[in-house]
Structure 1
């Protein structure tokens, strides 16, 4: 039965579980982020700074489709974690089967739409002027590989819900290493330019997909599904959709943010300003890997113990996760503030980009020490299956605060107004999340009589 091996989530010390879950997740995110980072460095040095901007235009489109898999994975994994905690393995299996069917159908459908309207989508996301042609080359090839990425993202979250973080880590490492090797061969040795970068990315997605399939077919996985589990079950589908919509909505807002930022910055400073944002975006993915790793590690622990009714362990997991991720966030903040100039020179020697990026990067990372509370708070509501609070808190940073700020502040302060919007949105969303998380702990997770006596 699936719950035998996953039972450690309800018994082992929280600090040990969090490290056990978060460390592989952090390493996986680190390698994946390094892949994106080094990929950008390769492209910037071997093709040119315009190529960095071109990839930045394509990312929100491909990532949104891939985020379908992540959304379905996280939504279904919340159900699986709670089902395992309650000893309901049949629901866990049905959920997993529905996740696979849903991911495959939706990702393929969106890829077809994306390829049909390619000439309209690329300019809409900032692929204008000299950026358009390289962006179109990259976009066309990468989109074919995105369904494999969507299935990988879905499967990775299910692997973690089973309590197998090391395998989830390997699933994230494989495409990263593959992409870097192929980048060197196709871009540097074979001089294939943007086409080489795109082929390397798509092939790496397929390698990840192959590993995830192997895991679930092997004895390592406890979720052994059959054909009956692939048929849609409306109650399960509804729960997956409601919880997964939180992640999908977040990625949709991220894509809208890219659209706005690329267009606003193109109008304010042309291709160079778009490149500045592309570099900062890569650093956001890379530098925050330990904080995101703790958040990923926290999800199955909170979900399992909530399903088992262990309120004390849920409270402890929240407090420990916030503490660990806050310390890591502070270290990230110190590193960015100290080494921002050195970081930028790794990507490009374009004098305008080298001049403008360090100050912008410092503004973007200014509130990093406090974002842990916002991330853990919104993740908690998703882990316990409360879709609406999770959705609202997830959207608070970029949807409710950042987008209005980035539309208003540049009118008065120009390009600096764009960068100031980042820390302001972080502070406001953290305050909102702190209020609702504290309220939830006091009302829902209050100590039982036995805990008080103990």
Structure 2
């Protein structure tokens, strides 16, 4: 349900941007979409890798190492977020031009992407560590995390775009704020009393062996998401060449509707992963 709602708010985003900014706004968001897919790929690299290891260690009744993995995952998330956002902000215009942004679209894509890059650490924390919440046996809480972000984003979008007249920048800001609230919610869970695992300062120091294990397990979803980003870029170039900005905007809408159909499948796979990992770690292979 959480994954489905998450995809739905992308559709709602498109509705607000389309009505508030117009065709050029939708084109700018579609041009920037591969960048967001790469961000999600990095989040999946760490989140899926860490959550799988956490499930295995909890199945082995090894809570200490599970907390070490959680601490390292948070450190890796923050490190990757600052590296990618720093590089993204420095080379923003060349990146957008390489993705096919025309001179008319570039200013809109620049405004949108700059805000997304600046607040990307919140997306990494919320998206990455939410997988660990699911892995420790709290799928309902993981769903609530996504619902909070989606509902808040849907509320803030029209306020910023129409009420405050912020245009496409308002849409990006609504996304960042909703992700920031989600990140605070996730961190509050791991620092609170109700979590099985705790974020402990002594485990935030990067451990190369744990980082390597996280990367090895998370590499498969990382490359799958990265491939989706590359395919989107190729589509955009073809659409720009043969159909123009309107075709790119239309494809952006189609992509978001298509995500609604894919999210239930992703939800099933993400729901099964903690159960399989926990039982594998406990030696319950038949189960």
Shorter-chain-normalised TM-score: which range?
Answer: over 0.9
Larger RCO of the pair (alpha carbons < 8 Å, separation 6+): 2
**Contact persistence 1:66–1:107 (CA under 8 A):** no
**Contact persistence 2:10–2:256 (CA under 8 A):** yes
Q: Tell me the SS of whatever aligns to 2:194.
A: coil
**Contact persistence 1:69–1:103 (CA under 8 A):** yes
Match of 2:272 in 1: 298
Is 2:74 aligned against 1:100? Answer: yes
Structure with higher Rg: it is 1
Between 252-261 and 108-117, the greater mean CA deviation after superposition: 252-261
Match of 2:153 in 1: 179
Matched ranges for 1:81-96 at <5 A: 81-96=55-70
Question: Normalization by structure 1: what TM-score?
Answer: 0.61
Question: Normalization by structure 2: what TM-score?
Answer: 0.96
Match of 1:211 in 2: 185
Match of 1:220 in 2: 194
How far 1:234 moved relative to its partner?
2.3
Is 2:128 aligned against 1:154? Answer: yes
User: 1:321-347: per-residue Cα shift (whole Å, max 9, x none)?
Assistant: xxxxxxxxxxxxxxxxxxxxxxxxxxx
Q: Tell me the SS of whatever aligns to 1:221.
A: coil
Match of 2:217 in 1: 243
Is 2:109 aligned against 1:135? Answer: yes
Q: In the aligned structure 2, how far is the partner of 1:189 from the partner of 1:172? A: 25
Match of 1:278 in 2: 252
Q: In the aligned structure 2, how far is the partner of 1:242 from the partner of 1:110? A: 20
Is 2:234 aligned against 1:260? Answer: yes
User: 1:51-90: per-residue Cα shift (whole Å, max 9, x none)?
Assistant: 1121111122133124322220110111110111111112
Match of 1:434 in 2: none
Q: 1:46 aligns with which of 4, 11, 20?
A: 20
Q: Tell me the SS of whatever aligns to 1:130.
A: coil
C-alpha RMSD over aligned residues: 1.4
How far 1:98 moved relative to its partner?
0.5
Match of 1:115 in 2: 89
Q: In the aligned structure 1, how far is the partner of 2:33 from the partner of 2:86? A: 17
Match of 1:422 in 2: none
Q: In the aligned structure 2, how far is the partner of 1:143 from the partner of 1:62? A: 9
Q: Tell me the SS of whatever aligns to 2:78.
A: helix
Runs of 4+ in 1 over 4 A off after TM superposition: none
**Contact persistence 2:41–2:223 (CA under 8 A):** no
Q: How many residues align?
A: 287
Matched ranges for 1:412-427 at <5 A: none
User: 1:103-138: per-residue Cα shift (whole Å, max 9, x none)?
Assistant: 101111110000111111112112224322211111
Q: Structure 2: 5+ residue runs without aligned partners?
A: none
**Contact persistence 1:53–1:274 (CA under 8 A):** yes
**Contact persistence 2:152–2:178 (CA under 8 A):** yes
Q: 1:63 aligns with which of 29, 34, 37?
A: 37
Match of 1:37 in 2: 11
How far 1:99 moved relative to its partner?
0.3
Q: Tell me the SS of whatever aligns to 1:251.
A: helix
**Contact persistence 2:190–2:199 (CA under 8 A):** no
Q: Structure 1: 5+ residue runs without aligned partners?
A: 1-26, 314-454
**Contact persistence 2:191–2:199 (CA under 8 A):** no
Q: Tell me the SS of whatever aligns to 1:204.
A: helix
